[in-house]
Structure 1
Protein backbone atom coordinates (compact mmCIF):
# COMPACT_ATOMS: atom_id res chain seq x y z
CA UNK A 1 0.00 0.00 0.00
CA UNK A 2 1.16 3.51 -0.82
CA UNK A 3 0.41 6.63 1.22
CA UNK A 4 0.72 10.00 -0.48
CA UNK A 5 2.84 12.64 1.25
CA UNK A 6 1.36 16.12 1.51
CA UNK A 7 2.95 18.71 -0.82
CA UNK A 8 5.26 16.09 -2.30
CA UNK A 9 5.33 13.85 -5.37
CA UNK A 10 6.83 11.05 -3.29
CA UNK A 11 4.78 8.27 -1.75
CA UNK A 12 5.35 6.15 1.32
CA UNK A 13 5.14 2.38 1.11
CA UNK A 14 3.35 0.92 4.15
CA UNK A 15 2.14 -2.47 5.29
CA UNK A 16 -1.43 -3.54 4.53
CA UNK A 17 -1.53 -5.23 7.93
CA UNK A 18 -1.22 -1.85 9.66
CA UNK A 19 -2.97 0.61 7.31
CA UNK A 20 -5.22 -1.75 5.36
CA UNK A 21 -6.66 -3.94 8.09
CA UNK A 22 -10.35 -4.76 8.28
CA UNK A 23 -12.19 -2.68 10.88
CA UNK A 24 -13.57 -4.52 13.92
CA UNK A 25 -15.96 -2.32 15.89
CA UNK A 26 -16.24 -4.79 18.78
CA UNK A 27 -12.47 -5.01 19.22
CA UNK A 28 -11.96 -1.25 19.04
CA UNK A 29 -14.80 -0.62 21.49
CA UNK A 30 -13.39 -3.14 23.98
CA UNK A 31 -9.89 -1.66 23.84
CA UNK A 32 -11.10 1.97 24.09
CA UNK A 33 -13.30 1.17 27.11
CA UNK A 34 -10.47 -0.74 28.78
CA UNK A 35 -8.04 2.12 28.16
CA UNK A 36 -10.42 4.69 29.66
CA UNK A 37 -11.27 2.46 32.63
CA UNK A 38 -7.57 2.10 33.41
CA UNK A 39 -7.51 5.83 34.13
CA UNK A 40 -10.33 5.68 36.68
CA UNK A 41 -9.19 6.09 40.26
CA UNK A 42 -11.99 4.11 41.92
CA UNK A 43 -11.85 6.19 45.10
CA UNK A 44 -15.48 5.91 46.25
CA UNK A 45 -15.54 4.88 49.91
CA UNK A 46 -18.32 4.56 52.47
CA UNK A 47 -18.20 3.49 56.10
CA UNK A 48 -19.72 0.38 57.60
CA UNK A 49 -21.29 0.44 61.07
CA UNK A 50 -17.99 -0.67 62.58
CA UNK A 51 -16.12 2.25 60.98
CA UNK A 52 -18.53 5.08 61.90
CA UNK A 53 -17.20 7.35 64.64
CA UNK A 54 -19.55 6.90 67.57
CA UNK A 55 -20.21 4.84 70.65
CA UNK A 56 -21.52 1.31 70.34
CA UNK A 57 -23.24 1.55 73.72
CA UNK A 58 -26.88 0.50 73.75
CA UNK A 59 -28.85 3.68 73.12
CA UNK A 60 -31.79 2.88 75.43
CA UNK A 61 -33.12 0.15 77.63
CA UNK A 62 -34.30 -3.06 76.02
CA UNK A 63 -37.94 -2.84 77.07
CA UNK A 64 -40.49 -0.13 77.62
CA UNK A 65 -39.33 2.26 74.91
CA UNK A 66 -41.02 0.89 71.81
CA UNK A 67 -38.77 -0.73 69.22
CA UNK A 68 -35.69 -2.46 70.55
CA UNK A 69 -32.41 -0.91 69.36
CA UNK A 70 -28.74 -1.24 70.10
CA UNK A 71 -26.02 1.15 68.96
CA UNK A 72 -26.87 4.36 67.09
CA UNK A 73 -24.21 3.48 64.52
CA UNK A 74 -26.59 0.93 62.98
CA UNK A 75 -27.58 1.57 59.33
CA UNK A 76 -31.21 2.34 60.18
CA UNK A 77 -30.21 5.56 62.00
CA UNK A 78 -29.23 8.86 60.38
CA UNK A 79 -25.46 9.16 60.69
CA UNK A 80 -25.06 5.42 61.01
CA UNK A 81 -23.02 3.15 58.79
CA UNK A 82 -23.92 1.93 55.31
CA UNK A 83 -25.21 -1.61 54.99
CA UNK A 84 -23.20 -2.64 51.91
CA UNK A 85 -20.55 0.07 51.96
CA UNK A 86 -18.70 0.82 48.73
CA UNK A 87 -14.93 0.46 48.90
CA UNK A 88 -12.13 1.64 46.55
CA UNK A 89 -11.64 -0.78 43.68
CA UNK A 90 -9.80 -1.09 40.40
CA UNK A 91 -11.71 -0.68 37.14
CA UNK A 92 -8.84 -2.12 35.07
CA UNK A 93 -9.73 -4.63 32.37
CA UNK A 94 -7.23 -7.07 30.94
CA UNK A 95 -6.35 -6.45 27.30
CA UNK A 96 -3.46 -8.46 25.94
CA UNK A 97 -0.79 -6.94 23.71
CA UNK A 98 -2.02 -8.62 20.53
CA UNK A 99 -5.54 -7.22 20.95
CA UNK A 100 -4.24 -3.72 21.73
CA UNK A 101 -2.01 -3.61 18.66
CA UNK A 102 -4.77 -5.04 16.46
CA UNK A 103 -7.15 -2.30 17.65
CA UNK A 104 -4.62 0.46 16.89
CA UNK A 105 -4.09 -0.99 13.41
CA UNK A 106 -7.84 -1.20 12.82
CA UNK A 107 -8.33 2.45 13.82
CA UNK A 108 -5.45 3.62 11.61
CA UNK A 109 -6.79 1.58 8.69
CA UNK A 110 -10.28 3.05 9.05
CA UNK A 111 -8.88 6.59 9.28
CA UNK A 112 -6.89 5.91 6.12
CA UNK A 113 -9.96 4.62 4.26
CA UNK A 114 -11.88 7.75 5.25
CA UNK A 115 -9.04 10.01 4.07
CA UNK A 116 -8.43 11.38 7.55
CA UNK A 117 -4.69 10.61 7.69
CA UNK A 118 -2.31 13.24 6.32
CA UNK A 119 1.34 12.26 5.99
CA UNK A 120 3.90 15.08 6.01
CA UNK A 121 7.66 15.03 5.61
CA UNK A 122 8.19 16.79 8.94
CA UNK A 123 6.30 18.93 11.45
CA UNK A 124 8.57 21.44 13.13
CA UNK A 125 7.80 24.67 14.99
CA UNK A 126 10.27 27.52 15.34
CA UNK A 127 9.98 28.04 19.07
CA UNK A 128 6.95 27.65 21.34
CA UNK A 129 4.53 29.90 19.45
CA UNK A 130 0.81 29.09 19.43
CA UNK A 131 0.18 31.47 16.51
CA UNK A 132 2.78 29.64 14.45
CA UNK A 133 1.08 26.29 15.07
CA UNK A 134 -2.35 27.72 14.22
CA UNK A 135 -1.03 29.10 10.94
CA UNK A 136 0.59 25.77 10.08
CA UNK A 137 -2.60 23.82 10.78
CA UNK A 138 -4.67 26.26 8.73
CA UNK A 139 -2.29 25.73 5.83
CA UNK A 140 -2.84 21.97 6.06
CA UNK A 141 -6.64 22.42 6.22
CA UNK A 142 -7.25 19.93 9.00
CA UNK A 143 -10.45 19.63 11.06
CA UNK A 144 -11.25 21.20 14.41
CA UNK A 145 -9.77 18.29 16.36
CA UNK A 146 -6.44 17.39 14.77
CA UNK A 147 -4.02 14.88 16.25
CA UNK A 148 -0.36 15.54 15.49
CA UNK A 149 1.88 12.46 15.66
CA UNK A 150 5.65 12.80 15.34
CA UNK A 151 8.51 10.39 15.98
CA UNK A 152 9.77 12.38 18.96
CA UNK A 153 7.56 15.38 19.68
CA UNK A 154 9.66 18.41 20.59
CA UNK A 155 9.02 20.55 23.64
CA UNK A 156 8.28 23.54 21.39
CA UNK A 157 5.49 21.61 19.67
CA UNK A 158 3.96 20.54 22.98
CA UNK A 159 4.08 24.09 24.36
CA UNK A 160 2.64 25.54 21.14
CA UNK A 161 -0.39 23.22 21.33
CA UNK A 162 -0.91 23.55 25.08
CA UNK A 163 -3.34 26.49 24.83
CA UNK A 164 -5.33 24.99 21.95
CA UNK A 165 -8.14 22.97 23.57
CA UNK A 166 -8.84 20.58 20.66
CA UNK A 167 -5.31 20.03 19.34
CA UNK A 168 -3.52 16.90 20.58
CA UNK A 169 0.20 16.22 20.21
CA UNK A 170 1.62 12.71 20.62
CA UNK A 171 4.86 10.96 19.91
CA UNK A 172 4.71 7.35 18.74
CA UNK A 173 5.29 6.00 22.25
CA UNK A 174 2.39 8.06 23.60
CA UNK A 175 -0.10 7.12 20.89
CA UNK A 176 -3.30 5.68 22.32
CA UNK A 177 -6.67 4.49 20.92
CA UNK A 178 -8.72 7.22 22.64
CA UNK A 179 -6.68 10.00 21.00
CA UNK A 180 -7.03 8.34 17.58
CA UNK A 181 -10.78 7.78 17.89
CA UNK A 182 -11.43 11.35 19.07
CA UNK A 183 -9.49 13.06 16.29
CA UNK A 184 -11.12 14.56 13.19
CA UNK A 185 -7.86 14.07 11.31
CA UNK A 186 -4.39 12.75 12.03
CA UNK A 187 -1.30 14.63 10.86
CA UNK A 188 1.61 12.23 10.99
CA UNK A 189 5.21 12.52 9.90
CA UNK A 190 6.83 9.98 7.55
CA UNK A 191 9.32 8.95 10.26
CA UNK A 192 6.47 8.35 12.69
CA UNK A 193 4.69 6.14 10.13
CA UNK A 194 7.75 3.91 9.87
CA UNK A 195 8.11 3.74 13.64
CA UNK A 196 4.42 2.82 14.02
CA UNK A 197 4.89 0.06 11.46
CA UNK A 198 7.81 -1.37 13.42
CA UNK A 199 5.72 -1.24 16.60
CA UNK A 200 2.60 -2.88 15.17
CA UNK A 201 4.24 -5.37 12.81
Structure 2
Protein backbone atom coordinates (compact mmCIF):
# COMPACT_ATOMS: atom_id res chain seq x y z
CA UNK A 1 0.00 0.00 0.00
CA UNK A 2 1.06 3.62 -0.53
CA UNK A 3 0.94 6.65 1.73
CA UNK A 4 0.99 10.22 0.45
CA UNK A 5 3.88 12.50 1.37
CA UNK A 6 3.26 16.23 1.52
CA UNK A 7 5.18 17.85 -1.35
CA UNK A 8 6.80 14.62 -2.55
CA UNK A 9 6.10 11.25 -4.15
CA UNK A 10 4.04 8.65 -2.25
CA UNK A 11 5.94 5.98 -0.36
CA UNK A 12 5.18 2.27 -0.29
CA UNK A 13 4.61 0.85 3.17
CA UNK A 14 3.97 -2.61 4.54
CA UNK A 15 0.38 -3.80 4.78
CA UNK A 16 1.42 -5.70 7.89
CA UNK A 17 2.17 -2.45 9.75
CA UNK A 18 -0.33 0.06 8.35
CA UNK A 19 -3.14 -2.17 7.13
CA UNK A 20 -4.06 -4.43 10.04
CA UNK A 21 -7.49 -4.57 11.63
CA UNK A 22 -8.04 -2.67 14.86
CA UNK A 23 -7.87 -4.83 17.98
CA UNK A 24 -9.54 -2.80 20.68
CA UNK A 25 -9.03 -5.40 23.41
CA UNK A 26 -5.28 -5.62 22.83
CA UNK A 27 -4.83 -1.85 22.52
CA UNK A 28 -6.81 -1.28 25.73
CA UNK A 29 -4.71 -3.80 27.65
CA UNK A 30 -1.41 -2.33 26.46
CA UNK A 31 -2.47 1.28 27.08
CA UNK A 32 -3.65 0.47 30.62
CA UNK A 33 -0.43 -1.44 31.34
CA UNK A 34 1.70 1.41 29.97
CA UNK A 35 -0.08 3.99 32.12
CA UNK A 36 0.04 1.78 35.20
CA UNK A 37 3.80 1.39 34.80
CA UNK A 38 4.09 5.13 35.37
CA UNK A 39 2.12 5.04 38.62
CA UNK A 40 4.00 5.34 41.88
CA UNK A 41 2.61 3.38 44.81
CA UNK A 42 3.23 5.97 47.52
CA UNK A 43 0.71 4.98 50.20
CA UNK A 44 2.61 3.96 53.33
CA UNK A 45 1.76 3.48 56.99
CA UNK A 46 3.87 2.35 59.92
CA UNK A 47 3.55 -0.90 61.80
CA UNK A 48 4.19 -1.10 65.53
CA UNK A 49 7.80 -2.08 64.83
CA UNK A 50 8.36 1.08 62.75
CA UNK A 51 6.76 3.66 65.07
CA UNK A 52 9.34 5.64 67.04
CA UNK A 53 9.25 5.13 70.79
CA UNK A 54 10.29 2.74 73.48
CA UNK A 55 9.19 -0.87 73.81
CA UNK A 56 9.50 -0.69 77.59
CA UNK A 57 6.53 -2.04 79.52
CA UNK A 58 4.28 0.95 80.16
CA UNK A 59 3.21 0.04 83.70
CA UNK A 60 3.30 -2.70 86.30
CA UNK A 61 1.81 -6.06 85.41
CA UNK A 62 -0.53 -6.08 88.43
CA UNK A 63 -2.61 -3.46 90.17
CA UNK A 64 -3.07 -1.01 87.31
CA UNK A 65 -6.14 -2.31 85.54
CA UNK A 66 -5.63 -3.86 82.13
CA UNK A 67 -2.26 -5.48 81.59
CA UNK A 68 -0.18 -4.10 78.73
CA UNK A 69 3.33 -3.74 77.43
CA UNK A 70 4.63 -1.16 74.92
CA UNK A 71 2.54 1.90 73.98
CA UNK A 72 3.43 1.35 70.31
CA UNK A 73 0.61 -1.18 70.02
CA UNK A 74 -2.22 -0.40 67.54
CA UNK A 75 -4.81 0.16 70.30
CA UNK A 76 -3.04 3.31 71.52
CA UNK A 77 -3.10 6.76 69.94
CA UNK A 78 0.23 7.24 68.15
CA UNK A 79 0.77 3.49 67.91
CA UNK A 80 1.36 1.47 64.77
CA UNK A 81 -1.28 0.40 62.25
CA UNK A 82 -2.41 -3.22 62.44
CA UNK A 83 -2.36 -4.02 58.71
CA UNK A 84 -0.23 -1.14 57.51
CA UNK A 85 -0.43 -0.18 53.81
CA UNK A 86 2.87 -0.35 51.96
CA UNK A 87 4.03 1.05 48.59
CA UNK A 88 3.26 -1.35 45.77
CA UNK A 89 3.98 -1.68 42.09
CA UNK A 90 1.09 -1.26 39.64
CA UNK A 91 3.12 -2.73 36.76
CA UNK A 92 1.44 -5.27 34.51
CA UNK A 93 3.31 -7.74 32.35
CA UNK A 94 3.07 -7.05 28.62
CA UNK A 95 5.32 -9.13 26.41
CA UNK A 96 7.04 -7.79 23.31
CA UNK A 97 4.67 -9.45 20.85
CA UNK A 98 1.62 -7.88 22.51
CA UNK A 99 3.22 -4.43 22.59
CA UNK A 100 4.19 -4.55 18.93
CA UNK A 101 0.76 -5.90 18.00
CA UNK A 102 -0.92 -3.00 19.77
CA UNK A 103 1.35 -0.45 18.07
CA UNK A 104 0.59 -1.95 14.65
CA UNK A 105 -3.13 -1.88 15.42
CA UNK A 106 -2.99 1.79 16.49
CA UNK A 107 -0.95 2.88 13.45
CA UNK A 108 -3.30 1.01 11.10
CA UNK A 109 -6.33 2.70 12.63
CA UNK A 110 -4.69 6.13 12.47
CA UNK A 111 -3.98 5.51 8.78
CA UNK A 112 -7.60 4.46 8.11
CA UNK A 113 -8.86 7.63 9.80
CA UNK A 114 -6.40 9.83 7.83
CA UNK A 115 -4.79 11.01 11.06
CA UNK A 116 -1.23 10.39 9.79
CA UNK A 117 0.62 12.98 7.70
CA UNK A 118 4.02 12.34 6.13
CA UNK A 119 6.65 14.97 5.39
CA UNK A 120 10.21 14.84 4.07
CA UNK A 121 11.30 17.01 7.00
CA UNK A 122 9.79 19.46 9.44
CA UNK A 123 11.93 22.27 8.04
CA UNK A 124 12.72 23.68 11.47
CA UNK A 125 16.44 24.41 11.46
CA UNK A 126 16.27 27.10 14.13
CA UNK A 127 14.40 26.85 17.47
CA UNK A 128 11.66 29.20 16.24
CA UNK A 129 8.10 28.51 17.39
CA UNK A 130 6.71 30.72 14.63
CA UNK A 131 8.25 28.51 11.93
CA UNK A 132 6.81 25.36 13.46
CA UNK A 133 3.34 26.89 13.83
CA UNK A 134 3.45 27.89 10.16
CA UNK A 135 4.46 24.35 9.20
CA UNK A 136 1.61 22.85 11.22
CA UNK A 137 -0.78 25.30 9.57
CA UNK A 138 0.31 24.05 6.13
CA UNK A 139 -0.33 20.46 7.23
CA UNK A 140 -3.70 21.38 8.78
CA UNK A 141 -2.55 19.74 11.99
CA UNK A 142 -4.85 20.90 14.77
CA UNK A 143 -5.70 19.72 18.26
CA UNK A 144 -3.34 17.29 19.92
CA UNK A 145 -0.43 16.81 17.53
CA UNK A 146 2.41 14.29 17.85
CA UNK A 147 5.52 14.96 15.80
CA UNK A 148 7.57 11.81 15.19
CA UNK A 149 11.16 12.09 14.01
CA UNK A 150 14.18 9.82 13.82
CA UNK A 151 16.88 11.41 16.00
CA UNK A 152 14.76 14.56 16.39
CA UNK A 153 16.97 17.68 16.47
CA UNK A 154 17.05 19.83 19.59
CA UNK A 155 15.74 22.79 17.57
CA UNK A 156 12.48 20.93 16.98
CA UNK A 157 12.00 20.22 20.69
CA UNK A 158 12.69 23.86 21.55
CA UNK A 159 10.37 25.16 18.82
CA UNK A 160 7.50 22.93 20.01
CA UNK A 161 7.71 23.41 23.75
CA UNK A 162 5.65 26.63 23.74
CA UNK A 163 2.94 25.29 21.42
CA UNK A 164 -0.01 23.84 23.38
CA UNK A 165 -0.78 20.15 22.80
CA UNK A 166 2.17 19.63 20.44
CA UNK A 167 4.41 16.77 21.52
CA UNK A 168 7.71 15.84 19.86
CA UNK A 169 8.80 12.23 20.22
CA UNK A 170 11.71 10.23 18.88
CA UNK A 171 10.99 6.89 17.20
CA UNK A 172 12.79 5.05 20.00
CA UNK A 173 10.47 6.66 22.58
CA UNK A 174 7.21 6.18 20.66
CA UNK A 175 4.46 4.96 22.98
CA UNK A 176 0.84 3.81 22.55
CA UNK A 177 -0.66 6.43 24.89
CA UNK A 178 0.69 9.35 22.83
CA UNK A 179 -0.60 7.83 19.59
CA UNK A 180 -4.05 6.96 20.92
CA UNK A 181 -4.58 10.46 22.29
CA UNK A 182 -3.37 12.28 19.17
CA UNK A 183 -5.72 14.04 16.76
CA UNK A 184 -2.91 14.15 14.20
CA UNK A 185 0.40 12.30 13.92
CA UNK A 186 3.00 13.96 11.70
CA UNK A 187 6.08 11.90 10.94
CA UNK A 188 9.02 12.13 8.59
CA UNK A 189 9.59 9.53 5.87
CA UNK A 190 12.81 8.51 7.63
CA UNK A 191 10.97 7.85 10.89
CA UNK A 192 8.26 5.96 8.97
CA UNK A 193 10.85 3.57 7.55
CA UNK A 194 12.41 3.14 10.97
CA UNK A 195 9.00 2.27 12.49
CA UNK A 196 8.36 -0.17 9.64
CA UNK A 197 11.70 -1.93 10.32
CA UNK A 198 10.86 -2.12 14.01
CA UNK A 199 7.32 -3.51 13.68
CA UNK A 200 7.48 -5.54 10.43
TM-score > 0.5, shorter chain as reference: yes
Alpha-carbon offset, residue 129 of structure 1: 1.2
TM-score by length of 2: 0.92
**Counterpart for residue 118 of structure 1:** 117
Instruction: Trace 1:19-30 onto structure 2 (pairs within 5 A).
Output: 19-30=18-29
User: Is 64-73 or 42-51 further displaced after alignment?
Assistant: 64-73
User: What is the count of residue pairs matched by the alignment?
Assistant: 200
Instruction: Trace 1:180-195 onto structure 2 (pairs within 5 A).
Output: 180-195=179-194
Alpha-carbon offset, residue 64 of structure 1: 5.2
Task: Work out the CA distance in 1 between the residues paired with 2:11 and 2:36.
Answer: 36
Q: Deviations over 1:40-65 (max 9, x none)?
A: 23233221101100112233344555
Q: Give the SS at the match of 1:170.
A: strand
Contact kept in structure 1, 2:55 and 2:71, CA below 8 Å: yes
Task: Work out the CA distance in 1 between the residues paired with 2:88 and 2:2.
Answer: 47
TM-score by length of 1: 0.92
**Counterpart for residue 178 of structure 1:** 177
Instruction: Please provide the CA RMSD for this pair.
Output: 1.7
Q: Are residues 1:3 and 2:3 paired?
A: yes
Change (3 A) 1:69 1:5: same
Task: Work out the CA distance in 2 between the residues paired with 1:67 and 1:86.
Answer: 29
Contact kept in structure 2, 1:124 and 1:157, CA below 8 Å: no
Q: Deviations over 1:133-171 (max 9, x none)?
A: 122112211121100011221010011112224111012
Gaps of 5+ in 1: none
**Counterpart for residue 107 of structure 1:** 106
Q: Give the SS at the match of 1:51.
A: coil
Task: Work out the CA distance in 1 between the residues paired with 2:184 and 2:62.
Answer: 74
Task: Work out the CA distance in 2 between the residues paired with 1:45 and 1:98.
Answer: 35
**Counterpart for residue 144 of structure 1:** 143
Q: Deviations over 1:63-119 (max 9, x none)?
A: 555544332211122211111112233222211111111100000011111111111
Task: Work out the CA distance in 2 between the residues paired with 1:142 and 1:94.
Answer: 35
Q: Deviations over 1:3-58 (max 9, x none)?
A: 111234x2111111111111111111111111122222323322110110011223
Instruction: Trace 1:122-137 onto structure 2 (pairs within 5 A).
Output: 122-137=121-136
Gaps of 5+ in 2: none
**Counterpart for residue 161 of structure 2:** 162
